[in-house]
Amino acid sequence: MSDAKKSEGKVRRPRAETPKGFRDYFGAEVTERKAMLDAITGVYHRYGFDPLETSAVETVEALGKFLPDVDRPNEGVFGWQDEDADWLALRYDLTAPLARVAAQFRNDLPSPYRRYAMGPVWRNEKPGPGRFRQFYQCDADTVGSSSVAADAEICAMLSDALEVVGIPRGDYVVKVNNRKVLNGVMEVAGLSGDDKEAERGIVLRAIDKIDRLGDDGVRALLGAGRKDESGDFTKGAGLSDAQAEVVMGFTSAKRASGAETVARLRELVGASVIGAEGVSELETMAELLDRQGYGADRIVLDPGVVRGLGYYTGPVYEAELTFEILDEKGRKRQFGSVAGGGRYDDLVKRFTGQAVPATGVSIGVDRLLAALRAKGRIGGASVGPVVVTVMDRDRMADYMAMVADLRNAGIRAEVYLGNPKNFGNQLKYADKRESPVAVIQGETEAEKGVVILKDLILGAKIAASATLEEWKDRPAQVEVPRADLVAQVRKILGQ
């Protein structure tokens, strides 16, 4: 038989692999995420915010082009053309859909409109270690208020949210800046005007990477450009040395106190009207937060924060975790940013033609979960369901009755539904499910009206370290009347 005919007869099976830049989430990860989101939701709810769910798909026109990764296909989004010729895309954040909702339902929603939302977002970015193309966000926004009190409230709420999920005071800081101040600095550096929009965009993205690239890396991006370790070259803003110095002066303007930082920023913006307005807004936010008890141990003014997205127009903020972890090479480093946001007064205006002020924050759910695991706040031993084993196929109804009794008592439980022929495999299954208890009832136990409860957690501990005497004193299984099944399982579980 020829090779061509052989290949014709072969069935090409799809590869069982996750697409590059994506990942799957299993049991404990999903449970931990839900618990964390529930805690954050409680804070948002307490602040008076309402939930909102929007479609994962938006029109490209509605989403707008605000992502910093403009060199990727479709400028960083996953987009496609629908049969009616409309271009659609997966949402790249939860803020752009909110702007569409605020415009579409403006006559029905209260103003200001305060909402929170959570769910997956997608970005067509170059994947890397810890950098995925799909990730979860948890947002809260106020649409319809121009007061910086709304920005201050978001920062206070972000601080509360971090603490409620298990990031203690001292392990995080919320950094606050104002894009108007940066605009003023750019004006002083000769970068104002429509003809300088491309350069301003590169400057924004460069400053936003200062924690990762350091001063030298940012200077390179402000100038001709930068080549990374892989050899990829990123084109720079093409600023002169004098212009770059003005911008770098802005990034290093943080001083020992908020008042000193404000004074230094006033010097940097000079005669710029927009810059002076931004400095005044920072001063007001600092006062409002201080009166609520949010001091420098939680929230600070930091000119190094700019945020990479192009739609911010005023205050911007970022939550950074300050404790150290070991990276993949065993080096100590700070954990870094887990949340950010700011004011975006022009985003809704794209739809309505009228200025609609808005501000909000987005928490990177996966990053925050990783931080909680690093702190040992989550990721401990998970407890699986009680497993009712099957000793006699013909008595499946009896086993189902047992599991029903356990479930009705609020105990997580399941009947073994595999091949019951090999009992050892049933216990291996219970072990793999991290089950705390196995329920056993063979023909002899059924005639006596009893069940055997095997304490799998205690059994594992005994097998690992107990002496023979301890084994006798603390048996890993007990025989109890069938009627006492629920009560005894509760006792084992410590309920």
Task: Give per-residue pLDDT as tens, 179-195.
Answer: 998 888 888 877 777 77
Task: Mark whether 448 and 310 lie in a shared domain.
Answer: no
The answer to whether residues 243 and 219 belong to one domain is: yes
What pLDDT, on the 0 to 100 scale, is given for residue 447? Answer: 95
Q: What is the pTM of this model?
A: 0.79
DSSP letters for 225-259: EEE-TTS-EEE-----HHHHHHHHHHHT---SSHH
For residue 22, tell me if it sits in a domain. Answer: no
Domain-embedded: residue 379: no
Instruction: Compute the average pLDDT of residues 423-441.
Output: 91
Would you say 289 and 299 are in contact if contact means Cβ atoms under 8 Å apart?
yes
Considering the domain architecture, whether residues 332 and 465 belong to the same structural domain is answered as: no
The strand pairing partners of 89, in sequence order, are: 58, 79
> Does 214 lie in the same domain as 185?
yes
- Which pLDDT tens digit goes with each residue over 323-349? 877 666 667 777 888 999 999 888 888
Asked which of 319, 351, 374 is the last residue of a domain, the reply is 374
pLDDT recorded at residue 82:
84
What does the pLDDT read at residue 402? 97
Among the listed residues 60, 187, 190, the one whose alpha carbon sits nearest the alpha carbon of residue 124: 60
Q: Side-chain half-sphere of 97: how many Cα atoms within 13 Å?
A: 24
Better pLDDT: 231 or 355:
355
Domain span including residue 468: 387-493
Q: What is the CATH number of the domain that holds 94?
A: 3.30.930.10
Q: Which helix (H) or strand (E) holds 141?
A: strand 134-143
- The reply to whether 12 falls in a domain is no
Range with lowest mean pLDDT among 42-46, 50-54, 241-245: 241-245
What is the reported pLDDT for 208?
74
| Same domain flag for 350 and 206 | yes
331 and 195 within one domain: yes
Q: Give 254-263 pLDDT, tens digit per residue.
A: 887 888 888 8
In terms of domains, do 128 and 247 share one? yes
pLDDT for residue 328: 63
pLDDT score recorded for residue 73:
46
Assigned domain for 11 exists: no
Per the model's pLDDT, the better-predicted residue between 349 and 231 turns out to be 349
Please give the Cα distance from 403 to 483 (Å, whole number).
Answer: 13
Report if residue 350 sits inside a domain: yes
pLDDT of residue 449: 96
Contact (CB, 8 A) for 115 and 358 = no
Helix axes 258-269 and 241-251, enclosed angle (nearest 10): 160
Pairwise CA distance, residues 483 & 474, whole Å: 23
Rounded to whole angstroms, the Cα distance separating 92 from 272 reads 34
Average pLDDT of the residues in 421-430: 90
CATH classification of the domain holding 488: 3.40.50.800
Residue 3 lies in a domain: no
- Enclosing H/E stretch for 103: helix 95-104
Where is 182: in which H helix or E strand? helix 179-188
Helices 365-374 and 27-46: angle between axes, nearest 10 degrees: 110
Q: Are residues 295 and 438 in the same domain?
A: no
pLDDT of residue 227: 80
448 and 300, same domain (yes or no): no
| Residue 417 counted as domain residue | yes
Which of 374, 407, 442 is the last residue in one of the domains?
374
Q: What is the Cα Rg of the chain in Å?
A: 29
Same domain, 337 and 392: no
Provide the pLDDT confidence category of residue 471 given band limits of 50, 70 and 90. Answer: very low
Return the C-alpha torsion angle 28, 29, 30, 32, nearest 10: 80
Same domain, 426 and 348: no
Closest CA to 399 of 456, 443, 436: 443
Distance of CA 1 to CAs 7, 31, 177, 233, 336, Å? 10, 54, 73, 52, 62
**Mean pLDDT over all residues of the chain?**
86
**Residue 3 confidence (pLDDT):** 59
Per-residue pLDDT tens over the stretch 238-291: 888 888 887 887 777 888 788 888 888 888 888 889 999 999 999 999 999 999
Q: Is residue 380 part of a domain?
A: no
The length of the chain is 495
438 CB-contact burial (10 Å; exposed 0-12 / middle 13-18 / buried 19+): buried
Domain identity same for 366 and 420: no
Whether the upstream peptide bond of residue 112 has omega within 30° of 0, thus cis, is yes
Q: Which has more pLDDT, 324 or 294?
A: 294
- Cβ atoms within 10 Å of 43's Cβ, excluding its own: 20
| Predicted confidence band of residue 370 (pLDDT cuts 50, 70, 90) | confident
Give per-residue pLDDT as tens, 116-160: 999 999 998 888 777 789 999 999 999 999 999 999 999 999 999
pLDDT at 485 over 50: yes
Number of domains in the chain: 2
Single residue among 344, 374, 404 that ends a domain in this structure: 374
